[in-house]
Amino acid sequence: MFETFGVINIWTYLAGLLMIILAPGPNSIYVLKSGSSLGVKTGYKAAMGVLIGDAILILLSYLGVASLIQTSPVLFTTIRYLGAAYLLYLGLKIIYEYWRSKDAGDYGVARPHKVENVFAKALTLSLTNPKAILFYVSFFIQFIDYTYEHTWISYLILATILEIFSIVYLSVLIFVGTSLTKLFKNNALLAKLGNGLLGLFFMGFAARLASMS
């Protein structure tokens, strides 16, 4: 069926996609954090930022821009360090804001004092992640028959499957996050430790991204 539209080895694609999506990353951790600290609605705003970011990267891959970034060391390094700096900023901000909060117990997982634009932050995380760029360049092309005349249809099919997998997984994270809020509701210390751990996760992702070659 899918071969008719230039998509090959669909079952291998699905298996690989499942493993990649389930692997922890800054995008999924940020959606989890948004859902736990700001509720389901805000969690889905963050998820939407991730999904749109992925869609943009897939489009860039199709247009060849992602390949250009990959083959340009200066451009790729610039994006890599921008992404690492942004992850470090988020990690430090989470630790600073939540550990200084004295009312974490009133809200479960401590909430930030200012309303943050989670959609913009999630979108930025997606677009400054060079690992995602490499993924769309190296992974997608393995499952597209380039003798097919309309390869944009092949990309669209693969992208649609990816987005469906992603929204299901992110939905699970959002509701897990809200459950964690209930768990932390009457334990301010546990809430602070949880947020501190999230901050350290982002700092760890930043260090790994900055050191990747």
pTM: 0.72
Q: Over the chain, what is the mean pLDDT?
A: 77
Least confident of 54-58, 87-91, 172-176, 181-185: 181-185
At residue 106, does pLDDT exceed 50? no
Please state the rounded mean pLDDT for residues 93-114: 56
Structural domain boundaries of the chain?
25-211
Residue 198 is predicted with a pLDDT of: 67
d(CA 161, CA 13): 10
d(CA 30, CA 117): 12
Cβ burial of 130 (10 Å; 0-12, 13-18, 19+) is: buried
Q: Which has the closest alpha carbon to 36: 202, 194, 206?
A: 194
At residue 61, does pLDDT exceed 60? yes
pLDDT tier, 108 (very low <50, low <70, confident <90, very high otherwise) = very low
pLDDT tens-digit map of 132-157: 776 776 777 788 888 888 888 988 99
